Amino acid sequence: MTIATPYLLYLGRSVDPADVKTSRGIAAFRPDLCVGEFRQDACPLSLGLPRMSFDQAVAAGARTLVLGIANAGGTLNDALVEDGVAALEAGLDLAAGLHHRLCDEPRLRETARRLGRALHDVRVPPANIPVGTGNVRAGNRLLTVGTDCSVGKMYTSLCLVSAFKARNIAADFRATGQTGILVGGSGVPLDAVVADFISGAIEQLAPARADDGWDVIEGQGSLFHPSFAGVSLGLLHGAQPSALVMCHDPSREHLRGIPGRGLPAIADCLAANLEAARLTSPTIRAVGVALNTSAMNEDMAQRACETIGVSVGLPCTDPYRMGVEPILDYLLTGDRTPVDAAA
């Protein structure tokens, strides 16, 4: 799949920052591909990009509108379809990673056909995925996991890859979700894979490697989220990671989409993930905690990292805000100085 760039990023009528994580992730990691953002007046969110109409975006050189939202169930509602039709009429292709595929919506399909525009459905898994085996394979693999969904697993993975490369260590980002695929250019949309083939898909995505480099595999969901634990477990087994980083949003009051159900304690979540992973990775170890502190000021963020790092005995940082050096140091050398100093 080749998606024409540059992009116009879609926010639509979203009011929850977590709902626009795909657009936000592309803006954060591939700003070179983005000319602006499209949002309705009812949307209070912004990516910090120029706000544009579809016509303005085309005039500025945009080629594709990325419907970069992640609503519950991945559906195409009437408002999305109406905006998609308008974008096609203005001269833009469409790309999305929703479960409800663009090509399955008659109004979008017929408009695209009439105008000769392209519809790109990112959340389509490859054919002929093998069943996982759990057989030992060579190579270094790190998996990001979470206390909840949408807590920063992709951000952490991408920041780790950049930090590895800055140290002249080979590293590859292995995307498993719509945002990661659009940022990285390839991957497997794991939540669209039939359950029996999830572990096999990851074995295929991150095969054995003979160098001393690392595959950094983007995690999905959480073992503690009733809606998404299945994909998280299959990913743990297929990734066969030697290292694990736990991702967490300390400002979140409940699991995403389930008011009243609190997040698990980080230590409990670490223990559960390590135990589950040992089925295929007997020597796996946790090497850090990555926090999403975007809702905190600088002092609060620093205190949260220090407190949590001491409580679990691991380096703790906000990868996007503070960098991943403490985690990388601990992974490569066992140096826990940043945590010890905080104590």
Span 104-129, pLDDT tens digits: 999 999 999 999 999 999 988 988 99
Confidence of residue 81 (pLDDT cuts 50, 70, 90): very high
Residue 242, φ and ψ in degrees, nearest 5: -90, -15
pLDDT digits (tens, 9 = 90+) for 135-192: 999 999 999 999 999 999 999 999 999 999 999 999 999 999 988 988 888 899 998 9
Give the pLDDT confidence score for residue 252 in this predicted structure: 94
**Last-in-domain residue among 60, 90, 121:** 121
Give the pLDDT confidence score for residue 98 in this predicted structure: 86
The pLDDT of residue 337 is above 60: no
- 261: burial class by Cβ within 10 Å (0-12, 13-18, 19+)? middle
pLDDT digits (tens, 9 = 90+) for 56-65: 999 999 999 9
Quick one: 113 and 187 in the same domain?
no
Quick one: 180 and 95 in the same domain?
no
Give the pLDDT confidence score for residue 19 in this predicted structure: 86
Quick one: 86 and 154 in the same domain?
no
Quick one: 191 and 332 in the same domain?
yes
> How many C-beta atoms lie closer than 10 Å to residue 170's C-beta?
14
Q: pTM of the entire structure? A: 0.86
- The three-class DSSP label of residue 304 is helix
What CATH number does residue 179 fall under?
Answer: 3.40.50.300
Quick one: 85 and 217 in the same domain?
no
Please state the domain count of the chain: 2
Quick one: 185 and 299 in the same domain?
yes
In a domain, 261, yes or no: yes
Say how far apart CA 78 and CA 47 lie, in whole Å. Answer: 24
pLDDT digits (tens, 9 = 90+) for 36-57: 999 999 999 999 999 999 999 9
What CATH number does residue 22 fall under?
Answer: 3.40.50.720
Strands 93-96 and 64-67: parallel
Give the pLDDT confidence score for residue 341 in this predicted structure: 36
Give the pLDDT confidence score for residue 72 in this predicted structure: 65
> How many C-beta atoms lie closer than 10 Å to residue 213's C-beta?
15
> How many C-beta atoms lie closer than 10 Å to residue 168's C-beta?
6
Query: 83 lies in which domain range?
Result: 7-121
Quick one: 94 and 207 in the same domain?
no
Helices 21-29 and 153-166 cross at an angle (nearest 10°) of: 10
Quick one: 220 and 163 in the same domain?
yes
The pLDDT of residue 343 is above 60: no
Say how far apart CA 162 and CA 136 lie, in whole Å. Answer: 27
Quick one: 24 and 115 in the same domain?
yes
Quick one: 262 and 149 in the same domain?
yes
Q: Cβ(265)–Cβ(289) under 8 Å?
A: no
Give the pLDDT confidence score for residue 18 in this predicted structure: 82
Give the pLDDT confidence score for residue 268 in this predicted structure: 97
In a domain, 170, yes or no: yes
In a domain, 212, yes or no: yes
* H/E run at residue 66: strand 64-67
User: What distance lies between CA 16 and its chain's CA centroid?
Assistant: 17
Helix residue ranges per DSSP H, 12-141: 21-29, 54-59, 78-90, 106-115
What residues have CB less than 8 Å from 163, skipping those under 6 apart?
323, 324, 325, 328
Q: Which residue has the higher pLDDT, 82 or 18?
A: 82
In a domain, 134, yes or no: no
pLDDT digits (tens, 9 = 90+) for 249-297: 999 999 999 999 999 999 999 999 999 999 999 999 999 999 999 999 9
Quick one: 164 and 300 in the same domain?
yes
pLDDT digits (tens, 9 = 90+) for 1-15: 578 999 999 999 999
The pLDDT of residue 340 is above 50: no
